[in-house]
Amino acid sequence: MPRRIGQWYYGWTVVGVAMLFKGVLFGITFYSFTLYANEWLADPQLDVSTATVMLGSSLVIMMSGFISPFLGRALDHVSIRHFICLGAMMTSLGMVLVAQVSAFWQILVIYACLLPFGIALTGPLAAQTLTAKWFDGRRGTAMGIVTTGTSIGGFIVPILVAYLFAETDWRTGHRIIAATVLLLILPPVWLLVRNSPHDMGIDPDPRASKPTDIGAKENAILRTWTTRTILSEPNFWIICGVMFLLGAGFSGISLHISPFATDLGIPKVQHGFFISLYAGTMIPAKIFFGHLSDRIDVRYLLWGAATCLGLCTTLLVLTSSFVMLAVSCVFLGAASGSMLPLIGNLVSSRFGVHAFGRVMGMLGPFNACAGFAPVAVGAVRDASGSYDGGWMLVFFAVVPILILTAFLDRIGRSRSHLKVSI
């Protein structure tokens, strides 16, 4: 089969659309959540505490994680394009319903029962599975690029949402956001996305892998991974632990940026800047870590990410000004930007592209437990009147990350060489 259409490899078109739908989805759900939380905390009709508000984010993270194993297996066999469109419609509906609530418990129901499906169907799992199917030798680079979509969305969307809330109330803002989701996601996904290069009669990206990666890829191809064999693989559980601790750290800090800025006396209209700075830093970080993951041991890159997280929490404890908070957001963005490309590269190199969706889906429930972190940080804030204790909780996650990463098998090695049938 040919490898290209004319002079352009179509996989990059798919990556571009994946960046778009991830950016829109994450920009309005996760990165802007801290802005929603600030509005809900100030609304006397809702009358909620910081910890209770953060429960909304925790529920959507946890529920989407529990959905992931079923979705991951489905993505290996059915139309990803249809799933993405369905997820966009469910997300839009969720935003419309949030605008109609009269009590905060109704927001919690929406965030627990509807938005998780939208996020799971239109989020990183779908985008990374598409990328894994379209790319071979440059998969790490492609993964790094596609994951920048969420950061680009986080860089642009919160600023727009902050100005939107400054011009209108949060209920009207949610209705506008709902319409935007449909307009920006449905047309390009339906017209341009294809599930794999074979659907278009072309080969995946043809460049050769790095020599040290050959052994792991050969073993992954020879082996057919089932749920049982995945769960018996030590690397799977190490990746779970690293994802959980990193995810807890990122969500525990990022979702509290706006309330923390309020505590520092920073005007509300400027809060979007910090979120954009955090997300904007993630863009080069994702490309940088994704590119390097094709060339050097991923363990060293994970150690670098954990170090950045430790520096971020240290600065947050010392933060008392606009500038210090901005610097903390840069370190947080550098650490956060590493996770998706590095985890994606770990999974594809150790389990193979054909099991990529299943393995990433199975990681979801364990990563979902990280959704408790924002609630825990919020509870510390409510009890003590300060965020310092919450930041220290995140700091203590750094050492276990360093230890777990050291036990990952080196690329090119494997603990099992048996071929397993489905």
CB 123 within 8 A of CB 87: yes
- Percent of the chain residues past pLDDT 90, beyond the cut: 21
Report pLDDT for 397.
82
Mean pLDDT of 75-92: 84
pTM over the 0.75 mark? no
Report pLDDT for 331.
94
Report pLDDT for 218.
45
CATH code of the domain occupying 11-406: 1.20.1250.20
Sign of dihedral through CA atoms 343, 349, 354, 355?
negative
Burial class (CB within 10 angstroms; exposed 0-12, middle 13-18, buried 19+) of 68: buried
Domain spans in the chain, listed from the N-terminal domain onward? 11-406
More confidently predicted of 10 and 111 = 111
Q: How far is CA 304 from the centre of its chain?
A: 19
Residue 210's pLDDT band (boundaries 50, 70, 90)?
very low
- Helix or strand run (H / E) with residue 149: helix 139-167
pLDDT > 60? residue 40: yes
- For residue 201 the two structure tokens come to 């009669």
- For residue 195 the two structure tokens come to 């599930």
pLDDT > 80? residue 230: yes
Report pLDDT for 96.
95
